[in-house]
Every structure is written in C-alpha cells, then in structure tokens.
Structure 1
Amino acid sequence: MADHRMNKGWRSEKLSQLGSSIFSEVAEWKEEALGSGLKIIDLGIGSPDGAPKPEIRQVLSSAVLRESSYSYPSSRGSLALRQQAAAWMDKRFGVTVDAEEEVLALMGSQDGLAHLALAVCNPGDMAIVPDPGYPIYSGSLAIAGVRPWSIPLLQENDFMPDLDRVPDRVWQEASFILLNFPGNPISTAADITFFEKLVLLARKWDVLIIHDLAYSEMGFDGYKPLSILQVPGAMDTAVEFHSFSKSFNMAGCRIGFLTGNREAVGALRELKSNIDYGVFEPIQEAAVTALELAMADMESGGVAPLYQRRRDIFVEALAREGWDVPKPKATMFIWAALPQQWTRFPEGGGSRAFARELLLKTGVVVIPGDAFGSQGEGFVRIALVQKEDRLLEAARRIGEYLRAL
C-alpha cells in the first residue's frame, strides 16, 4: 500500500495548470547571483518599498493591542469598512454602491481573483482573459476547472484588447471577461469609450465583466484611472476589485474589496463564508483610516507623484544608456521590449534568457514577459520599487551590460 501511495503521489494535476513558476525560478537566479558576489537590485516583484502613512500604522498598532480584537471577524468585512469603501467609491468615481449587498472585504484582491471563478462558474465553463495577464487570472480558471479563451494584447493595437475580434461564439459561451486597466504587466489605460463598448457587449451576451482596478491611484501626467462602474448600466453586468496594497503601501496587510453587481458579489460572499473567517479586524480598521485620509486629501495624488518621478528618472536614465522604453501612463511597472543590443543576437534567446543573463551579470532583477503569457515573449516587466538612487544604479549597470554585448 505504501508503495502504491508513493507511485500515485500527493500532487493535484491542477497545480501544473497554475501558470509559470517564474518567481521561484528568479529566486534561484538571485541565489546564484548572490553566490558570485553580486549586490542585488530587485525590480522584479511589485511590492511597494514604502510604509503606510503614520496615521494608518497608529490605528493598526492601537487596535492590535486591544484585547477585544482577537475574535473571529465577519467573513464579509466589517460594516464600517464596507461603508467607508462605498463612500470612497462615491467620492473618487461618482459611483453609488450599497455597502450591505454590493461590497465585500477580501484578504487582498488576489484572494478574490483566485476564488471568483469558483463562485460564479461551473466546471467546463469558459472565460475570456488577457494575454499577457497577471498570473492569477489564468490560475484561478485552472482551480475552478474553467476553460480560458485568451484575448491578445498586441503592441500594434497599443496593447488594448480588440473586442471586435472576439468571435460571437466566444461571447455566447463565455461566463465572464476579466480585464484590468491600468494593467499588470502592461500599464495600458482604458478610456470611458472603451468601457462603454465593453459594457454594451457584456449586456448583449449576458457576460459578467470582472475589472481588476488594483492601480486606481497610480495614474501619471494628469491621468486618473476610471472605474468601469462609472458607465451607466455597468452595475447590471460588472464587478470591480480594489486593493490597498499599491495605493496605500499595505501589501503585507492583505486587504482589498470587491464591489459591483450584487449577485456576483453575493456569490463570492457565500463561497468565502465557507472557506475563511475574513480579515483581521485591526487591519480593517487601518483600511478605513487609509480611505478616510485619501478622501480628505484627494488633490495630493497619493502615491502617484512618487512613482511618476521614479518613472521619469529611470526611463530617462535607460535612454542615456542606450535602451529606449516608453513611459507608462500608470502603475509601478514598465513594460519594455528587449533591447536591440540583445535582439541582434538571436542565438541569445528570448525574454527568459535575457532576464537571467541580466541578473547574473549585473544583479538587476526583472521579470521575463513570457511569465505573463505567450504574447509577453520579447518583453520584460520592470517594477519601480526601489529608491531613485538605486534605480539610477540599476540603469548604469544595465547600460554597462548592453555596451558589452
């Protein structure tokens, strides 16, 4: 019996469908680079390098010390957080949502993204997801047994999905379409006209829209990201994820929320009530404070000025070093085509080979584009998660490497 169990194994076949293991692979490259004496500048994972505002940390600290904070929280989120999220949606986007039925607190937006397909689909259903896309988009489908239909994000179309190229049979069969603007890994910005068209199509074909708006507070050069719920009629067919990780430097707190169509929000709420007990209450209180502060000072731009300054400094430094990359309109990421110095030598390989060699030769970590889907080949994602002097040093090292090719 023991031999039979060993041969059978204890690993689900679904694990092999969860997408790229690139982050584990990059961690191995980093160990190799450290072993050779290199000092690492990590521009890989999009984890903010700053802390939440002092007021947020003070609320969290006080709540953690309170003896009454340690009972099970509500799986749907505290009423205070849901009401504050609804108030923020109103002030930030002019969108009215019902805190009771149309807002659900989450352990980060990835928590919701990972589970929503389980809540709104049946095994064998189909969903439309972007390529390139954030890995959990396709990973969540594998978990739920849902078939993906990939909509390509191509450079010749400014990395926007061409909705007209989605066949009628796909619209008819799809349970939902998942998109994110501004995007990860590509910082594409959708306008209201695109959202209006998307809502019209979704209502026509009875398809749920899932919009991941994790970077709502990271627009540059006067651009302020939009909520799809601003489109009239969107509440009939759309839900939207919001995250505190990037907007308020609360990535480690694991807090976010879903809002929009009450049936879809309710489905995820029902699923979540069976698999967890919600977010630690002190973290929810800190999130309430974060939204209160943001609403009181919306003109400051929040974290956006910091990342815009980093973007400008880094992109201009790369240009001086011989690698021209476009300036994104939003987010903490740069989506860069492989430099010409590398692509002149096809035998060198693609995105993964470039990212590995760059790390082993310079200590600078970037993520190869193919980690986000087949259409990401030929690109790398660079995260602006280091201080300006480190970004300048990274650009210098990259330039030195490119000149040696």
Structure 2
Amino acid sequence: MVKPASRIENIPPYLFARIDKKKAEARKKGLDLIDFGVGDPDIPTPQNIITRMKEAVDDSANHRYPSYEGMFEFRKAVADWYKKRFSVDLNPADEVVALIGSKEGIAHMPWAYIDNDDIALIPSPGYPVYKIMTLLTGGNPYIMPLKEENHFLPKYDDIPASILDKAKIMFLNYPNNPTGAHADDDFYERSLWIAREYDILICHDAAYSEIAYDGYTPRSILEFDKNKKYCVEFHSLSKTYCMTGWRIGFVVGNKEAVSNLGKLKTNIDSGVFQAIQYAGIEALTGDQSSVEIMKKTFQKRRDMVVNGLNSIGIHVEKPKATFYIWAKVPKGYTSADFCEKIIEEQGIVVTPGSGFGEEGEGYFRISITINEKRIAEAIERLKMVRF
C-alpha cells in the first residue's frame, strides 16, 4: 500500500468522527441515544426555500457547470441582505464569493495566505478547522486562549509583539462556537486596531449571527472596518435557514482577499449547484418569519437545558446567541471522561470541550438541536448519574 502524505498521518481524527465512533459503540449495546453532539438543526428547511429549489432543479439551464464565484444574482442577494441587515455596502462583483458552505471557505483561507512557518492566530476553544487547516498549509497556529474570566474573548495584550509582527491572519468567531459567547463593540474596535497596527487579515466566522436571544442583535465586523481593508467575513445559510445539508454559504469583505480565495477555489472546485443558489436567493430575500420562529424554538430549548443543568448542580449562564450551551464538567473529571461516562451510563451524547482545543479542557458542549421532549428526558437521565 502506498504510504500517505505525512500531513494526512499527522491530522488527528475530526472531532465529530470520534464522537460517531462512540455513538456506534453505544448503539451496539442497545442504548437509546439522545444526541446533543453535532450542531445540526432538527427544524426543517422553510417550505418557500424547498419550493424554489424544486423549481430550479426542473430547469435544465441549471444542470450545467455554475460560475466559479457564484451567480451574480446570488451575490447581489448577499449584498442586499448585508445592506439591510448591517448597513454595510458590498459590491457583488468583487466583494462577494459563493461558497460550498462556509466550512469550505474557512478551510481554504489558510491556503490562500499561509506559507511554511507563517503564523495564524487561532482561538481556543474554537472550530477545529481553523487550526487543522493552518497546520496542513505548513503554518504555525498561535493559540489565543478564550477564558471564561474574559468572557471567552482573546486578550490581545497577552500576545507578544513578536508574534503579532509575524502573524498574517487571525480567525475570530462571534457569536462563538463552542462557548456561545458574544462580542461587544469595544472588542471589534480593538480587533481592528490590532489588524491595522500589525497588518493582519481578520477572518471572521459569523455563521451564528442570526441566532440570538433576549434582545441581543449581533453585529458584523465589517460595520467597524468601513473601508473593508482588513477583514473578510464568512457566512453560512446552514444555521439561519436550517440548510446544513444544502452546502451553501459566502465570503464577503476585502476584495483582494475575496479574490485570492476565489482564485484558489477555481483550481479546487467548480462552484455551487445553481439550483441551490436560487434556493439561497429565496432564503435571503424571501419571507423571514421562519427565522423568528426558529429563534423562539431555540430560546425555549436553551432555557430548558440551562434550568435543567442548574437544577442538578452544573451551573451555567444563559448564552445570548448560538444554539450551544458551554458548561464545566463536574470536579474530578476530564472533558473526555465525563462525556464517556454519560454516554455509557445514560446514552446522552455531548461534545468534550477538549475536542475544540486545549483551552476547552474542563468543559463540554451541548447542542440544542433536538426537540423539547428529548431535552426533558435527557435532564431526567442526567439526574440519575452520580457525579
């Protein structure tokens, strides 16, 4: 057998692939699993989006190769949505590119900017793709710890100037996965100051910007980078419109960075199926009432989980955004030990915080993407676990 490249051998198993293995083992034992693992909404895609997709699939013009950067109509819909949502002006011709889901664009961004030994600033805990793809390019991830005492925001004062001088890109993600944390205006202003002072490209993952509660409205980092000199922002339709399996998203912002990512993509993929882009246009421009209904559903679930955990001695605050609950494991357990204990004893699947980076140790993540009946059942099962 031909030996694979060392870069493949050195990649740890993807977090959710490891969880799937544990789930399979539990099912073999006959356990009824309640799965709070992957952030994959159980709410169906809104019907108007499905209907538009069906219409587009029947049109043979959509059966051919799409444009690499995305249909102009889709990019125009993105620009119009940004203007309406954030009061940010985007030129759809050169400041917007369609993605096969935001994960794809985020994963390719280091390939567009990181050479061997270049530094990327990576939050921990954080979406695993930021660090893994930096390593695959031969770059050096510099870990920015997200600490609870700092509201899960990086402390820029703790980063040595020698690191900032060499850093080329910085990944940020607010509202945050996995912590559910949100960023205030001062943080965005400080981030832009760092980018200007040290000539760093900020790659902001804003996949959860539309899932917020209690009157909180997340902002775009492009509201602070008015001239779009230092930032790109990644969005996904997966979470906002419950379209995780459809694989469509977009990157916007600095036109040189958007162009460089687009140039890379032309050599890797052939664009997003046009019928899905038409569905994306409908999502962005059509009836938005489903988004409000979804938010109310997730808020109810958030409250159930938070109240349930607090009732059994696991103290958590209510996050203002995302559909994640980030909680400390009980004393005496590692993240992995606790997660294995509750899946083996009660068939409850949660994600160990350590899977999101070294700074996630001591925590676990709950994804509230299952119905209220199962949430209530999970709380009752957790009451039977001896911590």
TM over 0.5, yes or no? yes
Aligned-pair CA distance for 1:20: 4.8
2:309 corresponding residue in structure 1: 318
- Paired residue type of 2:365: R
Tell me the residue number matched to 1:151: 144
Q: Does 1:366 align with 2:350?
A: yes
The answer for the alignment partner of 1:116 in structure 2 is 109
Query: What do the CA deviations read for 1:183-216 (whole angstroms, capped 9, x no partner)?
Result: 1111111111111111111011111011000001
Once the two structures are overlaid, the 10-residue window that deviates more, 59-68 or 328-337, is 59-68
Quick one: distance in 1 between partners of 2:350 and 2:260?
37
Q: CA deviation at 1:293?
A: 2.2
Which residue does the alignment assign to 1:27? 20
Contact 1:19 1:138 in 2 (8 A): no
Q: Distance in 2 between matches of 1:20 and 1:210?
A: 24
What is the deviation of 1:170?
Answer: 1.1
Of residues 304, 307, 310, the one that matches 2:295 is: 304
**Equivalent residues in 2 for 1:5-404, closer than 5 Å:** 6=1, 9-233=2-226, 235-293=228-286, 301=292, 303-339=294-330, 343=331, 346=332, 349-401=333-385, 404=386
Which segment drifts farther, 365-374 or 117-126? 117-126
Distance 2:149 2:187 in 1: 17
How many angstroms apart in 2 are the aligned matches of 1:399 and 1:324? 14
Counterpart CA distance in 2 for 1:78 and 1:328 is: 36
Q: Secondary structure at the match of 1:303?
A: helix
Partner amino acid for 2:163? V
Contact 1:199–1:234 (CA under 8 A) maintained in structure 2: no
The DSSP-based 3-state class of the residue aligned with 1:68 is helix
1:47 CA displacement: 0.6
Letter in 2 for 1:205: Y
Distance 1:232 1:265, change over 3 A: closer
CA distance in 1, matches of 2:295, 2:138: 38
Retained in 2: the 8 A contact 1:335–1:382?
Answer: yes
Preserved CA contact (<8 Å) 1:77 1:279: yes
Q: Structure 1 residue 120: deviation in Å?
A: 2.0
Look up the SS of the partner of 2:270 in the other structure.
coil
8 Å CA contact 1:17–1:142 kept in 2: the answer is: no
Q: Is the 8 A contact 2:49 2:279 kept in 1?
A: yes
SS at match of 1:240: strand
Cα distance in 2 for residues equivalent to 1:201 and 1:324: 34
CA distance in 2, matches of 1:302, 1:102: 31
Q: Deviations over 1:253-285 (max 9, x none)?
A: 000000000000000011111111100001000
Q: Corresponding residue for 1:3?
A: none
What's the % identity of the aligned pairs? 39
Residue type at the aligned position of 1:312: D
CA distance in 2, matches of 1:232, 1:62: 39
How far the C-alpha of 1:17 sits from its partner, in A, is: 4.1
More displaced 10-residue stretch of structure 1: 312-321 or 78-87: 312-321
Task: Extract unaligned runs of 5+ from structure 1.
Answer: 1-5
Distance 1:123 1:278 in 2: 28
Relative to the length of structure 2, the TM-score reads 0.96
1:266-318 deviation line (CA, Å, top 9, x unaligned) = 00011111111100001000000000126x659x7353222111101121122
My pick for the range that moved more, 226-235 or 151-160, is 226-235
**Distance in structure 1 (CA, Å) of the matches to 2:15 and 2:65:** 36
Q: CA-to-partner distance for each residue in 1:215-248, whole Å, 9 max, x for gaps?
A: 0101110111110000144611100000000000
CA distance in 2 between partners of 1:199 and 1:28 (Å)? 41
Aligned positions, number: 387
Cα root mean square deviation, aligned: 1.5
Displacement, 1:373? Answer: 0.6
Instruction: Name whichever structure is richer in helix by fraction.
Output: 1
Q: Is the CA contact 2:329–2:335 (under 8 Å) kept in the aligned structure 1?
A: yes
Under a length normalisation based on structure 1, what TM-score does the superposition of the two structures give?
0.92
Distance in 1, matches of 2:100 and 2:293, equals: 22
Distance in 2 (CA, whole Å) between partners of 1:61 and 1:335 is: 38
